[in-house]
Amino acid sequence: MADRFDLIVLGAGSGGLAAAKRAASHGARVAIVEGDRVGGTCVIRGCVPKKLLVYGSAYRHLLADAASYGWQIGPIEHDPAVLLAAVRAEVDRLNHLHIGLLAKAGVELVRGWGRFSGPDAVAVSGADGQQRELTAERILIAVGGRPQRPEIHGAELAWVSDDMFLLERLPEHVVVVGAGFIACEFAGILHGLGVKVTQLVRRDRLLRDFDGEAAEAVREAMAEEGIGIRFGCRPLSITGSTPGDLVVALDDGDTIDCGGVLLATGRRPFLEGLDLEAAGIAVQEGRIPVDGDQTTNVPTIFAVGDVTDRICLTPVAIDEGRAFADTVYGGKPRRVNHDLVASAVFSQPELAGVGLTEEQAIERHGSEGIRVHRARFRPMSRALPARGPRVLLKLIVEANGGRVLGCHMVGEHAAEIIQMAAISIGMGATKADFDRTMALHPTLAEEFVTLPD
């Protein structure tokens, strides 16, 4: 006999956890189904461990600059295995923490992989082979996404981003394939940990979803740091054996010998094994389309997060999950605003932005309809070492009225600064509002309120 709930959540990642706990707080009886570790991509194999690796790799630059501040440091050795193990330990801690938070919230964690057996039913296959049938008035799909491998010969010999957090040691040379934020972040991490990095980019620029000038500033800094970036080429095949003995053949006829290949070539919704057709759920171009209330084409089935393939960011999934629960179970109807979402690339240097890029602003308002205010300079932290990347700060402003349409930055603490800028832009701030704000000196952020007209 099936166990009955008010809500079944498929997937214990950021969106699913947020929805389940919030619905339970409103009095719903909730089950959350997860066949992998609780925490999802962000906690287990994404944002959190990646940012820890960024911090760890950044010490190379700090130690190199120490002498310019009077610190005499002797020979330095680094063991990436220690960092990788410490990151995994922290992930384990967070995994257990989230399990405890579910129990505290009164959400039942059902271990196993769930699939639809009807519009109100989910069959769960546990690791022990046991089957369990669940039914509910409503079902929420929050299974997230997975890295995708390009269809090239030998792709199975390469890593995807998930694999990077399982490594116990690093090779001397890694080829990174891709131009997006995952590729650029891992290129910086690996380089900072002493690995030679060659990044292969199919087109002619990095980070195409971000402001072009900001992306170019990142590329410039990466190249100056010694990361080899090859544009206009792609891998045709990967041969050899792992670990440590691979050959990447390129479409320009060249080959690269390396110890590892990271395929950072995008992610897609993880729909395999869900049996969506059993519930009549529509799929469009590999994703589950939803309306503003997160509702699929089936009125009692909902979806949040990366599986909808709209804005694939952890805070967006969390807010979608909470908005769903507040609307359905809390008597507080609300919809998520996807129009103004800040985003960051934890490259080295860091890039962050909110609002329209310069390219988007020109497309919407025309080149005569906007004004671009920018500053490019070496930050004070780089004054004594007298080297390192320059900072870029940029405001995109509507010519008629002065409303700030976009705010972008490349440099130290960019994400922290843009998070605060997002508040003012969301409130409709103008360039005059920025100008009226007294500068906090000496800081990087003060340049946003002292930009010349």
Residues carrying an active site annotation: 441
State both tokens at 299.
Answer: 């009125």
- Asked if 296 and 311 count as a contact pair (C-beta separation under 8 A), the reply is no
User: Strand locations in 142-285, DSSP E?
Assistant: 145-147, 173-177, 196-201, 228-231, 235-241, 245-250, 255-258, 260-263, 267-269
Q: Are 279 and 118 within 8 A, CB to CB?
A: yes
From CA 269, how far away is CA 271, in angstroms rounded?
6
Nearest to 267 by CA among 287, 249, 294: 287
Sheet order of strands, 255-258 included: 235-241, 245-250, 255-258
Q: In whole angstroms, what separates CA 378 from the centre of its chain?
A: 28
Return the HEC string of 355-384. ECCHHHHHHHHCHHHEEEEEEEECCHHHCC
Rg (CA), the chain: 24
- Element containing residue 217 per DSSP (H, E): helix 212-225
The two three-digit tokens of residue 120, written as one number: 């109100």
Q: At what angle do helices 80-105 and 47-65 cross, to 10 degrees?
A: 140
* Cis ω before 119 (30° cut-off from 0): no
Residues 243, 65: Cα–Cα separation, whole Å: 33
- Bridge partners of 34, per DSSP, are 111
- 126 phi and psi angles, rounded to 5 deg: -85, 165
